[in-house]
Amino acid sequence: MSTVYEVFARKARGEPLRHIGWLTAPDDDLARVYAYQMYDEERWFDMWIAPRDRLLEVFNSDRNTALGR
């Protein structure tokens, strides 16, 4: 079974992370490898991955909701 991971990166220290894409992988270790191979076309300062099913919504202006209210 594969998990969908969202990929975030920044080009320099102090910059905010930005979403650069997504990938699927069977586990965290392979997700790291896949992210590096797929998104290393730029010289990133750092890169992060997060399983999509663990991303939690804080606010959605379309629904005007915050913190599950």
Q: At residue 8, does pLDDT exceed 90? A: yes
Q: What is the mean pLDDT of residues 38-56?
A: 95
Q: In the predicted model, is pLDDT for residue 21 greater than 70?
A: yes
pTM exceeds cut of 0.75: yes
CB 1 within 8 A of CB 11: no
Structure tokens at 3: 């998990």
Question: How far is residue 69's CA from residue 56's CA, in Å, rounded to a whole number?
Answer: 14
Q: What are phi and psi of 56, to 5 degrees?
A: -115, 130
Look at residue 56 in the predicted model and tell me its pLDDT.
Answer: 86
Domains of the chain, first to last:
3-53 (3.10.20.520)
CA angle 2, 7, 36 (to 5 degrees): 85
pLDDT-derived band at 50 (thresholds 50, 70, 90) equals very high
